[in-house]
Amino acid sequence: MSTELSPFHLAVPVDDIAKAREFYGGVLGLAEGRSDDHWVDWNLDGHQFVTHRAPGSGPVGWSDVDGHKVPVPHFGLVLGVERFHELAGRLRAAGSEFVIEPYQRFAGEPGEQWTMFLLDPAGNALEFKAFADRSQLFAK
């Protein structure tokens, strides 16, 4: 497969479009694209991310990873380390509650990374992670 990444499209349910705008636009700082009364397109680092007004479901399960309960399903982005820490600071300044606080995992092992998990206002689980060496993204 090509190493060039194509933009993805992801849609998630939210129960309140105004709260989605506050969180994704205000807290995360994503640029808003097209919208309607029932949905909003967001620019998630060049990917099309859409919040659709529908009953939110939140995580349906939890998986044990590195001594933490990881919410499943979840989605998010792989960021640079500096951007990861900037986002963590932005989330803390906004009073966001983390499911898993930002921390470094797999230290000294293949795939060493920073990671954090939180829920949006509708209960959708988000993970943001960062690798000092992005070539370790799929390292075993």
| In a domain? residue 93 | yes
12-47 residue pLDDT tens: 999 999 999 999 999 999 999 999 999 999 999 999
What CA–CA distance (Å, rounded) separates 90 from 96? Answer: 9
| In a domain? residue 114 | yes
| In a domain? residue 62 | yes
User: What CATH number corresponds to the domain at position 92?
Assistant: 3.10.180.10
* Burial zone of 7 (CB within 10 Å; 0-12 exposed, 13-18 middle, 19+ buried): exposed
Query: What pLDDT shows up at residue 88?
Result: 98
Q: Which domain holds residue 72?
A: 9-136
Show the tokens assigned to 97. Answer: 């509650």
Given a contact cutoff of 8 angstroms between Cβ atoms, the answer to whether 81 and 102 are in contact is no
| In a domain? residue 2 | no
For every one of its 140 residues, what pLDDT tens digit does the chain have, with 9 covering 90 and above?
455 678 889 999 999 999 999 999 999 999 999 999 999 999 999 999 999 999 767 778 999 988 899 999 999 999 999 999 999 999 999 999 999 999 999 888 888 999 999 999 999 999 999 998 989 888 88
Show the tokens assigned to 134. Answer: 């992005």
In single-letter form, the type of residue at position 96 comes to S
